[in-house]
């Protein structure tokens, strides 16, 4: 679980607009940045979906290699 200090550290990176933490099923845990909680929740869902798709592809390629 990310701490608020870790989110602050991520926000200090050049170009960072927001930083957040989410569960594997896309639930928002915490965030920092100049976005609304609704926007952060949508980003969390999108990131979780992208992670799931990448895992599925990696598992498939691994099975055939």
Q: At 4, is the pLDDT very low, low, confident or very high (cuts 50, 70, 90)?
A: confident
3-state secondary structure 1-53: CCCHHHHHHHHCCCCCCEEEEECCCCCEEEEEECCCHHHHHHHHHHHHHHHHH
**Confidence (pLDDT) at 28:** 97
pLDDT digit string, tens, across residues 11-26: 999 999 999 999 999 9
Q: Is the pLDDT of residue 2 over 70?
A: no
Query: Residue 3: which pLDDT band, with cuts at 50, 70 and 90?
Result: confident
Q: Enter the pTM of the model.
A: 0.81
């Amino acid at each position: 679980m990310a701490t608020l200090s870790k989110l602050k550290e991520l926000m200090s990176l050049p170009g960072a607009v927001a930083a957040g933490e989410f569960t594997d099923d896309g639930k928002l845990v915490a965030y920092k940045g100049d976005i609304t909680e609704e926007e952060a929740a949508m980003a969390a869902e999108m990131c979780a979906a992208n992670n799931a798709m990448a895992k599925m592809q990696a598992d498939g390629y691994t099975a055939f290699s």
